[in-house]
Structure 1
Amino acid sequence: MDIRNEFPALQGNTYLNTAASGILYNSLYQWRRDHDQAYYEQGSDFRMHQMQFLESVKDSVAAFFNADRNQTYLTANFSSAYGVLLDGLPANYRFLLLGHEFPAVYYQVQSRSFEYELLPLGPDLEQRIIERIVEFQPQVFAFSMVQYSNGLKLSQNFLRMLKDRFPDLILIADGTQYLGTEVINFNEAPIDALLGSCYKWMLGGYGCGVALLKESLAQQLYPDAQHRPLPTEAFLKHKTRLALRFEPGQQDTLAFGSLQHSI
């Protein structure tokens, strides 16, 4: 099969802008039409099994990234998941950030009044990251796996070396420009949190994202809430304290079903 035939945008064109927006393909287009046709015809009956369906999407995401199923969350986008994560960390944490980052990465740290330092991009970046960690002593290094401005990618080997040298340093990665570009084994990766929107290389369309956490980080989030009761309503009994924050309210089965279809 010629894969180009699946993508109408490739008929007579070469598409070089997936880093900005992935494109729709035939089988996903048909799936989305069938989804909305069923909703159109069935109304609320269509949503009767949404809980089981979304849990199946979560199964697919966790398996695809080899992540802990219990710490895999379906989110609307990177920004919403990142905000929930930041709000769960102690207010006195210091952040190391990279210069010329995507605004969603640095602004949410700034707007929450965390102490932070911006490290300019440039030559010898890896060595300078190490030096700033030693001198600034941040609790968190937050970064994009692939920089949106120039395509710079931090290697897994470098991140593993960082984790080995600074085991208590929390590594939070924006994977929006990264997810779908190579095989990812999150359980074996040195990253503590990998968050990302899935409309680019994952070809999931808009309105869907994922948040993958290591258990060690999850246990640090919202410590006060760990001792408070959870809702007891039947439709929320399957939700953990973090799921209630990362996955609040109604979730879009069209968006997350599109992600599952692309996986």
Structure 2
Amino acid sequence: MKSITKPQDFPSAANFSYLNAANVSLMFSGAEKKIHDWFNDVSKNGSNNFTEEVEENVFKDLHLSAAKLINAEPTEISAGSSATELLSSLAWSVSPKNEQNIVSTSSAFPSTVYPWVRIANNTGAEIRLAKEINNYTSIDSINDLIDKNTKIVCISHTEYRNGQTYDLNQLAEIAHQNDAILVVDATQSAGAIPIDVKKNSIDVLVAGAYKWLCGPFGSAFMYIRHNLANQLEPGLVGFRSHDNMWDLDATRIRYKNDASKFEFSTTAFGCAIGLTQSINYLNGIGIEKIYNHNLFLSDHLIKGLQKLGASIKSPLNQNDRSSIITANFEKINSERLIKALKSAKVFVSSRKDSIRFSPHLYNSLEDIEMTLSVIRKHI
């Protein structure tokens, strides 16, 4: 199978085998150009072109493209500099109280949990983390921690270390049965796995740009269900939070009536413009097509690794997996193999004494064969 992209979309993909989207994806060239153009214009022209009106509306296109990506309304999208920033603002906004608890998993990326830990340190709320057993966290183990005092269920849609992917419908049902808010960190799934926030009854979703969305560092988006956003006061506020941002008056603040109230300050706006281009590009190809392409490559990789004697640490069940594949070899140092792969221009990551592979839409079967060939020579 060939890449489903054009050579000019990711020019550097021809120079090496990059199976590392779960770390940092290659950026779509159209996004890179838009970012460069924006910074070049501002550096040379200041606000001559980037006027107050343009600045006020700078996130509108991102609202549209992100909404299309996850089947939301544009008014339910907020732009930010990182998923962690947006999640932190949300955490302070909700601020679970002393008698309440927050449920997540011990295998989650720390930034998915840390904002809630900070709140718990302040309010006395309880943090409950479902334990991982044999590289797998069951939904039953998450369910066992949820009760009528659960305020937040905050889950990584896809776990960063081994690619385990949770059934969002099931999690939403469990959370809502207990009047809890389901918060999904989709940084390791958005752009690679189809997401429908309406169908899956998701309350809040955050996603960073620089992984599967093929965008830049310094940009992210957050979805907040409309009737929930109306109830929340942002944890982080600034002059953009006011419903008329250029009506500058420090004696009052009147929030916007949608998710954009969480956009609070100036940022590297060019990065948001670049993310918009990347999401539009992915939407144009189709996330279902990207998902099937990535799974085809990862299936081929799994079969090849197993033939070489690797132990696969990622779920193999179709309903629990993604294109993130983690594996190791008994009595063979994973770091040594990663160095050998790098010497052959095959780029992967190290995670918990294993090798993490994460192919994306710009990869081809040739990249997988090259990877397996290098490993074969060094085991």
Normalised-by-shorter TM-score class: 0.7 to 0.9
Match of 2:150 among 138, 146, 149: 138
Contact 2:226 2:258 in 1 (8 A): no
Q: Residue 119 of structure 1 aligns with which residue?
A: 130
Which letter maps to 2:93?
G
Closer, same or farther: CA 141–236 of 1 in aligned 2, 3 Å: farther
Which string of whole-angstrom CA distances, capped at 9 and with x for unpartnered residues, describes residues 204-242 of structure 1?
11111011011242244239xxxxxx8575626996167
Q: Residue 16 of structure 2 aligns with which residue?
A: 13
Which letter maps to 1:3?
K
The CA deviation at 1:144 is: 0.6
Which letter maps to 1:252?
A
Q: Residue 57 of structure 2 aligns with which residue?
A: 52
Contact 1:84 1:245 in 2 (8 A): no
TM-score relative to the length of structure 1: 0.85
Question: Where does the alignment leave 5 or more consecutive residues of structure 2 unmatched?
Answer: 235-240, 249-253, 280-379
Which letter maps to 2:132?
L
Question: Where does the alignment leave 5 or more consecutive residues of structure 1 unmatched?
Answer: 224-229
Contact 2:169 2:200 in 1 (8 A): no
Closer, same or farther: CA 121–232 of 1 in aligned 2, 3 Å: closer
Q: Is 1:110 the equivalent of 2:122? A: no
Contact 1:140 1:171 in 2 (8 A): yes
Q: Residue 225 of structure 2 aligns with which residue?
A: 214
The CA deviation at 1:255 is: 0.5
Q: Residue 174 of structure 1 aligns with which residue?
A: 185
In 2, Cα distance between the equivalents of 1:70 and 1:25? 26
Q: Is 1:100 the equivalent of 2:107? A: yes
Which letter maps to 2:179?
D
Q: Is 1:40 the equivalent of 2:43? A: yes
TM-score relative to the length of structure 2: 0.61
Q: Considering fraction of residues, name the structure with more helix.
A: 1
Closer, same or farther: CA 2–89 of 1 in aligned 2, 3 Å: closer
Which letter maps to 1:253?
F
Which letter maps to 1:42?
N
**Which secondary structure does the structure 2 equivalent of 1:46 belong to?**
coil
Closer, same or farther: CA 203–231 of 1 in aligned 2, 3 Å: closer
In 2, Cα distance between the equivalents of 1:176 and 1:246? 18
Q: Percent identity?
A: 21
Structure number with bigger Rg: 2
The CA deviation at 1:261 is: 0.8
The CA deviation at 1:124 is: 6.8
The CA deviation at 1:39 is: 2.1
Closer, same or farther: CA 242–116 of 1 in aligned 2, 3 Å: farther
Which letter maps to 1:249?
S
Q: Is 1:26 the equivalent of 2:29? A: yes
Q: Residue 199 of structure 2 aligns with which residue?
A: 188
C-alpha root-mean-square deviation of aligned residues, in Å? Answer: 2.7
In 1, Cα distance between the equivalents of 2:32 and 2:276? 13
In 2, Cα distance between the equivalents of 1:236 and 1:50? 14
Contact 1:195 1:209 in 2 (8 A): yes
Q: Residue 288 of structure 2 aligns with which residue?
A: none
Contact 1:89 1:220 in 2 (8 A): no
Which letter maps to 1:11?
A
Q: Residue 226 of structure 1 aligns with which residue?
A: none
Q: Is 1:70 the equivalent of 2:83? A: no
The CA deviation at 1:19 is: 0.4
